[in-house]
Chain A
Amino acid sequence: MDTASLMTVFCWIASGFLALGMCAAFIRLLLGPSLPDRVVALDLLAAMAIGALVIVAVQTSQPILLDVALAIAIITFLGTVALAMSLERGVFK
């Protein structure tokens, strides 16, 4: 087995693991009994989006996608902090 097809096999296995985790986190996003549960699930889904971007970047040799991963990390942090602050101040009743 040559190098490229071995890399493809590894990337498919990694994508399968990531899809499993995304399904579980999305079920928690749908079920989640309270709002903070859904925020935790969204945070985890954004981290998994970063992981998917890194996998695609490695598979297609496009290092520009790592910039997108950094941008997603920053935006996710801001969103989580904003939701936590508005939750603590009682915006959502």
Chain B
Amino acid sequence: MITTIVVGSLLVLGTALMALAGIGVYRMPDLFTRMHASTKGASLGVAVLLLAAVLSFQDLSVGTKAALTTAFIFLTAPVAAHMLGRAAYAKNVPLWEKSIMDEGRGKIAPLPEDKTDQPS
């Protein structure tokens, strides 16, 4: 009974984190804030859901697979987000108009008067 309540609460918590990530991706104003919402919320939500699966099955093979999946997601989600964000920034995907700092302009991304690379 206690196990069921703990597993169910972890399931609801993990899916609530993923729903927050989805709402953030829908509501945020530009690409980089959307990635900020999506990457952290999705990886933490998957980790909490796999913890619920481990507590539900209580089996060594399930625990190993869940630990492997969690480690893989926590290692690869930042790498994928960094590559995608760097490529998008270098291709001049527009920032939010209320952004107050743009430090990579001229280093990674072209300067504003260089209009040769438009975002696709």
In angstroms, Cα B85 to Cα A85, docked, is 11
CB proximity to B under 8 Å, residues A37-60 = 37, 39-41, 43-44, 47-48, 50-51, 54-55, 57-58
In angstroms, Cα B84 to Cα A87, docked, is 8
Q: Of B21, B62, B91, which contacts A87 at CB under 8 A?
A: B91
CB-defined contacts of A69 to chain B, threshold 8 Å: 50, 69
**A43–B61 CB distance below 8 A:** no
The size bracket of the interface on A is: 35 or more
Assess whether B1 is interfacial by the CB under 8 Å rule.
yes
Known contacts A6-B5, A20-B22, A44-B21: A51-B46 contact under CB 8 Å: yes
Q: Which residue of A lies closest to B14 (CB)?
A: A51
The size bracket of the interface on B is: 35 or more
**A40–B53 CB distance below 8 A:** no
| Chain A facing B: main interface SS | helix
CB-defined contacts of A83 to chain B, threshold 8 Å: 84
**A43–B38 CB distance below 8 A:** yes
Known contacts A21-B21, A21-B23, A43-B38: A58-B87 contact under CB 8 Å: no
Contact with A along B59-93 (1 / 0, CB 8 A): 10110011011001100110110011111101101
**B46–A66 CB distance below 8 A:** no
In angstroms, Cα B85 to Cα A9, docked, is 39
Enumerate chain A interface residues (CB-CB to B < 8 A). Answer: 3, 6-7, 9-11, 13-15, 17-18, 20-25, 27-28, 34-37, 39-41, 43-44, 47-48, 50-51, 54-55, 57-58, 61, 63, 66-67, 69-70, 73-74, 77, 80-81, 83-85, 87-88, 90, 92-93
Q: Identify the 5 closest CB pairs spanning chains A and B, nearest first.
A: A10-B8, A21-B22, A21-B19, A47-B42, A88-B87
